[in-house]
């Protein structure tokens, strides 16, 4: 059976590939186009936190998380104030303590840890079923009914926030969702409600940045808002009276991580048709050359 690919057929098949290109435009797109200024978040004022752990308890109660089935309760010399040694599937927020020296005096600072709720989250961008999802309101939520359990989000998150239920045969990911159910009801997250010293302030991201700048200008703070630019900006922001380096905050990139994959996936609409045209052309060329050889 001889099959000759005519010029017209070649152009037609190439053309149909080019027409399908606009369909691929969604590759590498952001998961939400909502305005970051209008997203909800909260500001953590490290200078005000006394490390009472009420936010942590409120989180456990609100999300019905077990207290005992966690990682070992570590009380060692290095971190006397630490309770849960890390975030885990059953501890979505925790207070970490850090002893350091400021003006010749030994002091302790307490750092609340939880999901940072990135404006453009790496976890949601890598999720291939949309289980992790950036809501237009701000919180990054987890839709367990979609999750396949590839654990790519655990790999991708710059802060290592998503955790798995390692004790279950078919585990789900667990992480802070900023009490999304309360936010859509117009209420504040449980941890913010529980804070009695005003270390946590809930609001829209733009207002939080204004508030942070106001407090910094009044003095006593390091002139830096952690989360304003980290990972392209997060909805949870931190201000502190001691440098963030000394508090062992993770140094992350100051651009949104999904851009890195977008730069790669965005080339597909060029790569795929070029491969197609190149392979077809190469095939036709080597066939014609062979036919010529046979004739000679």
Partner 1 sequence: MSVSKSFMIWTSALILVIAFGAYGAFLRLTMGFKVTALNDYYPWGLWIAYDVLTGIALAAGSFSLAFGVYIINKKKFEPLLRPTLLTCLLAYLTTALGLIIDINQPARFWHPMFPLFFQPHSVLFEVYWCISLYIIIQLIEFSPIVAEKLRWKWFYTTMESEKVMIPLVIVGIIVPTLHQSSLGGLFLIAPDKVHPLWYSPILPILFYISALAAAPAMIIIESNISSRVLNRGLELDLLSSLGRAMRYILLVYIAIRLLDLIARGAIFSSGDTRALFFFVEILAGFVAPLILLLSERFVRSGKVLLLASILVVFGVIMNRFDVLLTAWLYPPPGAIYFPTWVEISVTGMLVALEALAFTLAVKYLPIFPEIKREHA
Positions in the binding site for partner 1 (CB under 8 A): 1-3, 24, 26-31, 86, 88, 122, 125-130, 146-152, 154-156, 158, 160, 163-172, 251-253, 257-258, 260-265, 268, 271-272, 275-276, 279-280, 282-283, 286-287, 289-290
Measure the CA–CA gap between 175 and 132, rounded to whole angstroms: 10
In whole angstroms, the minimum distance from the beta carbon of 227 to partner 1 comes to 16
- Residue among 130 and 243 whose Cβ is closer to partner 1: 130
- Residue among 201 and 234 whose Cβ is closer to partner 1: 234
- Residue among 12 and 287 whose Cβ is closer to partner 1: 287
Lay out the sheet containing 40-45: strands in order across. 200-204, 40-45, 236-239
Residue 100's CB is within 10 A of a number of other CB atoms, namely 14
Cβ(110)–Cβ(51) under 8 Å? yes
In whole angstroms, the minimum distance from the beta carbon of 82 to partner 1 comes to 14
- Residue among 158 and 189 whose Cβ is closer to partner 1: 158
In whole angstroms, the minimum distance from the beta carbon of 214 to partner 1 comes to 31
- Residue among 75 and 251 whose Cβ is closer to partner 1: 251
In whole angstroms, the minimum distance from the beta carbon of 14 to partner 1 comes to 12
In the numeric block, the tokens 């077809």 are attached to 280
Cβ(70)–Cβ(56) under 8 Å? no
Measure the CA–CA gap between 134 and 119, rounded to whole angstroms: 8
In whole angstroms, the minimum distance from the beta carbon of 37 to partner 1 comes to 23
In whole angstroms, the minimum distance from the beta carbon of 272 to partner 1 comes to 6
Burial class of residue 228 in the structure, from the number of CB atoms within 10 Å of its CB (0-12 exposed, 13-18 middle, 19+ buried): middle
Q: Which helix (H) or strand (E) holds 259?
A: helix 258-265
- Residue among 187 and 250 whose Cβ is closer to partner 1: 250
In the numeric block, the tokens 């030994």 are attached to 106
In whole angstroms, the minimum distance from the beta carbon of 122 to partner 1 comes to 5
DSSP 90: T
In the numeric block, the tokens 């050889």 are attached to 293
Q: Which residues of 145-175 are buried (b: 16+ CB within 10 A; e: fewer)?
A: eebeeeebbbebbbbebbbbeeeeeeeebbb
- Residue among 61 and 279 whose Cβ is closer to partner 1: 279
């Amino acid at each position: 059976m001889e099959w000759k690919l005519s010029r017209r057929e070649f152009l037609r098949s190439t053309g149909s590939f080019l027409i399908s290109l606009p369909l691929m435009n969604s590759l590498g797109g952001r998961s939400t186009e909502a305005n970051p200024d209008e997203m909800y978040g909260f500001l953590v004022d490290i200078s005000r936190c006394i490390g009472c752990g009420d936010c942590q308890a409120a989180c456990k109660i609100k999300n019905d998380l077990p207290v005992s089935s966690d990682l070992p309760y570590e009380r060692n010399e290095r971190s006397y104030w630490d309770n849960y040694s890390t975030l885990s599937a059953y501890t979505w927020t925790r207070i970490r303590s850090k002893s350091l020296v400021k003006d010749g005096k030994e002091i302790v600072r307490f750092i609340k840890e939880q999901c940072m709720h990135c404006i453009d989250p790496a976890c949601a961008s890598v999720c291939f079923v949309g289980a992790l999802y950036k809501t237009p309101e701000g919180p990054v939520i987890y839709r367990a009914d979609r999750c396949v359990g590839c654990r790519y989000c655990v790999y991708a998150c710059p802060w290592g926030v998503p955790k798995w239920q390692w004790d279950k045969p078919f585990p789900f990911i667990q992480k802070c969702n900023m009490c999304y159910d309360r936010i859509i009801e117009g209420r504040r997250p449980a941890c913010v409600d529980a804070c009695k010293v005003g270390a946590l302030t809930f609001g829209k991201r733009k207002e939080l940045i204004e508030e942070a700048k106001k407090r910094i200008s009044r003095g006593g703070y390091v002139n830096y808002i952690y989360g304003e630019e980290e990972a392209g900006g997060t909805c949870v922001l931190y201000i502190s009276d001691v440098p963030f380096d000394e508090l062992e905050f993770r140094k992350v990139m100051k651009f949104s991580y999904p851009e890195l994959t977008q730069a790669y996936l965005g080339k597909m609409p060029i790569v795929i048709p070029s491969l197609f045209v190149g392979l077809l052309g190469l095939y036709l060329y080597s066939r014609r050359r062979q036919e010529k050889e046979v004739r000679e």
